[in-house]
Chains A and B, each alone.
Chain A
Amino acid sequence: MKILVCIKQVPDMESKFKVAADSRWYDTADLAWRMNEYDEFAVEQAVLVKEQVGDADITVLSIGPDKVKETIKKALAMGCDRGVHIADDEVSSREPFQIAGMIAEYARDKNFDLILTGMQSQDRGSGQVGILVAELLDLPGVSTVVAFSLADGRLELRRELEGGVKARVATGLPAVVTCQLGLNNPRYPTLPNIMKAKKKELITVGVADVLKVEARQQTAKLYFPEKKGGGLILEGEPAEVADRLITILKEKTAVLA
């Protein structure tokens, strides 16, 4: 069984962001980078499938500058077999259709049985790429999956809807599945597996070899929204902050009366 997992490297969302000089994206300097959280569930699901079926081969793919190799290596340490790095220094200006186009172009002749990715990225958050890959490859695609089972070449999945309701759906392979938070418990790479990952194959593909589609949209301007609330900000020693907070709650709410 051949599995492809598509992952993105994103900044830690707690970072202090700055707008880049061209105002088209955030400044990528001085940020801590990690694997997109949703994609961790996709990697884990791929490894779980491999553990279940035994005979499986997992390729993990990421698009971006050289530093995304660090995130690919984490996925290799979690249990993927081979890394594919689509080297693209302009990745942050690519729109979802271009990202999906690159993945589909890479995957087209490789006969993957299962393609997994996160349901969205934490930074751009379009939620489009996985479904677009399915459409471009003419495969069934199921998004926002919170439960996954594979038996006799058939997937039975639960999609998360609103209000805690889930839809149970089924489809055959090959298929594309996008993973929602909570699908499984992504493992931490162990030290021996981190060492082993260093020896795994990591192929670099040039962006020109896979980027065959034009952008259909672009960011005109990135900016910080105006702060609306204007809520009071308390800072200082814990005892002092606690006293001020209790005073405010006594004045403004009835809960301490």
Chain B
Amino acid sequence: MKVLLVAEYRDGKVLGSISDLLGFAARTGADHAMFVVGSEAALPAYGGTLYLADAETYGEYRPAVHKQLLLAAIDKVKPDLVVFSHSSYGWDLAPRVACALGLAQVSEVVDYVDGTLVVPVCNAKLRRTVEIKTGGAVVTLQAGAFGGSEPETAAPSLERVAVETTDRVEFLGYEAAEAGGIDLSKAEVIVSAGRGIGKPENISLIADLAKAFGGEYGASRPVVDAEWAEHARQVGTTGQSVAPKLYIACGISGAIQHLAGMKKSDFIVAINTDRDAPIGDVADVLAVADLTKLVPVLIEKLTAS
């Protein structure tokens, strides 16, 4: 088997997700090559053959341009699998490439067992194995699912990729993350609110519990999107990554994007009415309870002692 790994490059840097790509290649035991629209000045830590399209020429991500460049590399490599990270780059580009090649696309692969790809269903509550009916496939990998491989130290051997192409989508620029006033990474205890808090008034309960521990309160994405808490308090891939001594997830089901931002915490407590919620997989203690009843009692006992 041969796989083509699609690395990501943004604004002058290769993104870290190549460790997932290399981990996947190692797990499958496949021969591999890599593709990136990047720069010779910032090559990925990869010792194999790198198909390089010059970012100076082709600019930041525009879907039709990157699609044509990648198709040109695929034409040379003739891989069985084209492998992306399941990221804003991968999930945007992968379907376009699959469509052009007439191949199946398998999204957010979390495992590879006996030659079969495994993907999550229903917010990771379920999983399924996928049978591919085309001669090859395009896949995206869940962040962290195959990671942990050592960066390679040898320099890649370069193969240039160039095409004549244009795009109807225009790239105008990047907008940096909002600078928030709250640095959750310094808090020893973080109590976070999820959608399960039910209504915005209950944010104060979560804030009070955080205060009782001398910590800060955070929030999951849905709570921030609903404007029940400010973005600076968001924990997860599009917010802050934290690793406090104690993390208490209140009414948070445990979407992968949230887990990615908090699972390195030393000790994790989840308070949830749903004992099957995926947050239970990372929690040291799961209190199956209505948080509006449990949290006030906890606050009372903590402040009394």
Contacts and interface: CB of A to CB of B under 8 A. Distances in A.
Interface string B135-157: 00100000000000000000000
Contact of A252 (B105, B108, B189, B267): B267
Interface string A9-38: 001011011010000001000000000000
Interface in A185-224: 214-224
Given A13-B253, A163-B237, A238 B121 contact: no
A136 B125 contact: no
A119 B91 CA distance: 10
B199 interface: no
Contacts of A255: 188-189, 213-215, 245-246
Interface stretch (A46-54, A105-113, A229-237): A229-237
A218 B95 contact: no
A241 interface: yes
Given A26-B126, A142-B169, A168-B173, A217 B267 contact: no
Contacts of B102: 216
A86 B82 CA distance: 32
A169 B168 CA distance: 10
Contacts of B276: 16
B137 A181 contact: no
A163 B221 contact: no
Nearest to A10: B122
A157 B47 CA distance: 38
Chain B residues touching A, range? 35 or more
Interface string B282-305: 111111110001100110011001
B176 interface: yes
Given A162-B237, A171-B168, A218 B130 contact: yes
Nearest to B296: A238
Contact of A217 (B134, B173, B253): B134
B127 interface: yes
B129 interface: yes
B96 interface: yes
A168 B172 contact: yes
A191 B215 CA distance: 44
B294 A238 contact: yes
Residue of B10, B116, B125, B134 with highest tally of chain A CB at under 10 A: B125
B123 A122 contact: yes
Nearest to B301: A242
B124 interface: yes
B68 interface: no
B171 A167 contact: yes
Nearest to B260: A162
Contacts of B214: 255
B253 A127 contact: no
Interface stretch (A63-71, A77-85, A243-251): A243-251
A241 B289 contact: yes
A135 B280 contact: no
A246 B298 contact: yes
Residue of B133, B231, B270 with highest tally of chain A CB at under 10 A: B133
22 contacts: A97-B104, A122-B122, A127-B108, A135-B96, A135-B99, A140-B168, A158-B175, A166-B174, A168-B171, A217-B134, A222-B128, A224-B127, A231-B268, A231-B270, A231-B283, A231-B286, A233-B285, A234-B285, A246-B302, A249-B246, A254-B245, A255-B213
Given A162-B87, A167-B60, 19 more contacts: A13-B122, A14-B277, A97-B105, A123-B121, A123-B122, A127-B86, A128-B107, A140-B167, A144-B92, A158-B175, A171-B168, A171-B170, A217-B133, A225-B126, A225-B127, A241-B294, A245-B287, A246-B301, A249-B246
